[in-house]
Amino acid sequence: MTKKILILHTGGTISMSEDATGKIKPNAQNPLAELPLNSQGQIQLVTEEIFNLPSPHITPAHMLQLSQRLRQAATEGFDGAVVTHGTDTLEETALFLDLTLTSTMPVVVTGAMRSSNEIGSDGLYNFRTAIMVASANASVGKGVVVVMNDEIHSARYVTKTHTTNVATFRTPTFGPIGIVSEGHVNYMQTINPQPHLPIEKVITEVYLIKAYAGMTGTLFQALNQPTTRGIVIEALGAGNLPPQTLAALQALVHQNIPLVLVSRCFNGIAEPVYDYQGGGVNLAQMGIIFCRGLNGPKARIKLLVGLSAGLQGSALKKYLNS
């Protein structure tokens, strides 16, 4: 049976080239767009260049456009989809898609750390592997995954861990959910399902702040504006903040601005376990929401999706901890 796979190119290093001076720049045309890859088994590829943007240019509005195209694809007879994307914000787009797509159709996000004409370029290999994963029966119902360097990672937890290494994408604490080996797609873990919200619009003014030693309430005071919709805080350790921030945080709580807390640590989860001024127990009592297991950028995306879907209060808190 022939598998019909949609390819959505969005730009990024995977579509760029190195010039004579060693600088990496976008091409007028994606070098992957016309590659003859249909020969790998019974796979029919349909290619669309939806964007041609470096990933720092990608916004939640672009992510929503991608999500809407993929929702449409699920009704058009496609058996899977591959999204090529720049790596800087790849993890955020992947999570956005995972949160907003309701179909069991496999969706794979991939990219490259080396441009298309560099020695050791990884783009074509990752692209080919992503197509293999998207067309595998085992990928049905797995949610959105990120495929890089022969590893399959859940969009929920994967993150970029190195600025240049081709093995940059890692899943702290949990590890990859599968690998690709000798042409076979192998899953070793499953991820608990989470709610999917097929939103039709995205809000703005959801912010991310990282805590540091000696932090005061200045930044939080600056964000206490009528336009602020939500704030994610990468807190210290298991979920603690300097006491000098508390008055400004309380003022935000009084304005009914959702405050979501994660840890700035690379591994582990944020929990309200320390009972002192500025400790997690104190913060939870103030009404700050602990979002367990996600990093700051991902928690911001999840908060943004939840708010865009109209969730508030206890419903928003339940969603952020699902």
Q: How far apart are CA 189 and CA 229, in angstroms?
A: 35
Radius of gyration of the chain (CA): 20
What six digits make up the tokens of 215? 């932090």
Q: How far apart are CA 204 and CA 277, in angstroms?
A: 32
Q: Which residues contact 231 (CB under 8 A, 6 or more apart)?
A: 206, 207, 208, 209, 220, 223, 252, 257, 258, 259, 260
**Which residue in 2, 10, 13, 87 is the catalytic one?**
13
Q: How far apart are CA 115 and CA 48, in angstroms?
A: 20
167 touches 114 (CB < 8 A): no
Our answer to whether residue 13 is catalytic in this structure is yes
Q: How far apart are CA 10 and CA 30, in angstroms?
A: 9
**149-155 contact pairs (CB < 8 A, 24+):** 149/122, 150/179, 150/180, 150/181, 151/176, 151/178, 151/179, 151/180, 152/176, 152/177, 152/178, 152/179, 152/180, 152/185, 152/187, 153/177, 154/98, 154/191, 155/91, 155/94, 155/95, 155/97, 155/98, 155/109
Active site residues: 13
